[in-house]
Amino acid sequence: MKSPPSSSSSSRRSTLSAYFLVISFILFVAFLYSEDFACVLRGPFLFSSEIQDYSTRKEKNDFVAGEEEKEAVVPFSVGRGKKGCDLFEGEWVYDEEGRPQYEEEECPYIQPQLTCQVHGRPDSNYQHWRWQPRRCYLPSFNATLMLENLRGKRMMYVGDSLNRGQFVSMVCLLHRIIPENSKSMETFDSLTVFKAKDYNATIEFYWAPFLVESNSDNAVVHRITDRIVRVRSINKHARHWKGVDVLVFNTYLWWMTGQKMKILQGPFGGDMKNVIEMETEEAYRFALRRMVKWVDKNMNPSKTRVFFTSMSPSHETSMGWGGARDGNCYNETTPITDSNYWGSSSKGIMRVIGEVFDRSNAPITLINITQLSEYRKDAHTSIYKKQWSPLTPQQLANPKSYADCVHWCLPGLQDTWNELLYAKLFFP
């Protein structure tokens, strides 16, 4: 087929409009990459320098790999992990004696959304599973060693309610060896601080469900369905993390609202017309890179450690593991045994996490809990928790309709996440 003839004036017009398109694209990119309106013009250059960094980083890594001896001085380490052992690959082993490491009623810090026994959970096997990596053993959690090494230091978990659960689990694992009058737990807005006074150590939690700034940042009032984030803005939160010695980040659940995220290009309270929609994975990538950039600039790798906990899976549809057609985690009392099982967790987000950390200079240790938690359909709080609002007769007649298949009972699965963190912190 012949293409229709075109006059030279219309071709000039299309060159012009292509030119216009390129300019608007550059401006668009500039918007995305600049934290504030003011640095719009720096945007595109920032972009190309990031690519530049990546291409030279490969060589830098090879160079470091040649100097294995130097790698030995990882801050906080007291030993080495077994070479070639992937802690996150393995199986759940039932351990009646060895687990749990504390009792639900013995730890007063567990929030009523996670105390399953006191809310009537009839079974307790979910507390007795121990994670067994395929090629090595997890070091046993030693609370004294942990507190000794945190002497005069701050450890902070930053993220959403799942990270809050992991924070509480850590406090429960430690609090037993601290006398009653030398510990305290206090909350100031987004920050909750557990103090071990004799050690002058704190374990803290900071609420920032997207890590970057969002309209869901209020630690109490944040049940917002129309979520909006500023993917390049982190300092509003990060100023509360500055100077912390051990940081543990997570962010995932709040991004899972659909295919797209709403991104605000400018401050909240300003012109809300500057909201664009972006693919969730891309928005997530921007936020993660912003966090990594902050770590690179603000954390001293010879004195501090930074961790990132991967996605916490949920168990909303039992068909996925060969269960009933309309079931979920409700009434589940045993782990999934099919080692290939992978539920609804986003593989795309996992890929983004891998890519962003591979390309970063900042040493961030991934606590890859997703696969091992996928097996734990039995470990959720389900209906055995304090409810936000009274249940209707219809709900009560159909318990699975209000089961929480996102959060986890304590003691339980999240203690294992901390055992893995402990292993990576002291035996890297």
Ligand X SMILES: *[C@@H]1O[C@H](CO)[C@@H](O)[C@H](O)[C@H]1NC(C)=O
Residues annotated as part of the active site: 161, 404, 407
Told to check if 228 binds ligand X by CB under 6 A, we report no
Stretch that binds ligand X, among 36-44, 146-154, 223-231, 300-308 (CB under 6 A): 146-154
Q: Which helix (H) or strand (E) holds 53?
A: helix 43-65
Told to check if 331 binds ligand X by CB under 6 A, we report yes
> Can you give the C-alpha Rg of the chain in angstroms?
24
DSSP label of 332: -
Task: Name which of 169, 300, 284 is nearest 247 in CA terms.
Answer: 300
Task: Name which of 185, 179, 213 is nearest 199 in CA terms.
Answer: 179
Told to check if 47 binds ligand X by CB under 6 A, we report no
> What are the phi and psi torsion angles at 333 (to 5°)?
-125, 0
Q: 3-state DSSP call for residue 214?
A: strand
Told to check if 142 binds ligand X by CB under 6 A, we report yes
Please, are residues 237 and 206 in contact by the beta-carbon 8 Å criterion? yes
Told to check if 269 binds ligand X by CB under 6 A, we report no
DSSP label of 425: H
β 129-133/90-94 pair status: antiparallel
Told to check if 193 binds ligand X by CB under 6 A, we report no
Identified binder of ligand X from the candidate list 154, 289, 377, 380, rule CB under 6 A:
154
Identified binder of ligand X from the candidate list 148, 189, 279, 326, rule CB under 6 A:
148
Dist. CA 273–CA 285, nearest whole Å:
23
Told to check if 40 binds ligand X by CB under 6 A, we report no
CA dihedral 133, 128, 308, 177 (to 10 degrees): -110
Judged by CB, which is closer to ligand X: 166, or 318? 318
Told to check if 358 binds ligand X by CB under 6 A, we report no
What angle do helix axes 8-33 and 43-65 make, rounded to 10 degrees?
A: 60
Told to check if 401 binds ligand X by CB under 6 A, we report no
Judged by CB, which is closer to ligand X: 24, or 337? 337
Could you give the string, one character per residue 78-117, with x where binding to ligand X holds by CB under 6 A and - elsewhere?
A: ----------xx----------------------------
Could you give the string, one character per residue 336-355, with x where binding to ligand X holds by CB under 6 A and - elsewhere?
A: --------------x--xx-
For ligand X, the binding residues (CB under 6 A) are 88-89, 142, 144-145, 148, 152-154, 200, 331, 350, 353-354, 366, 368, 370-371
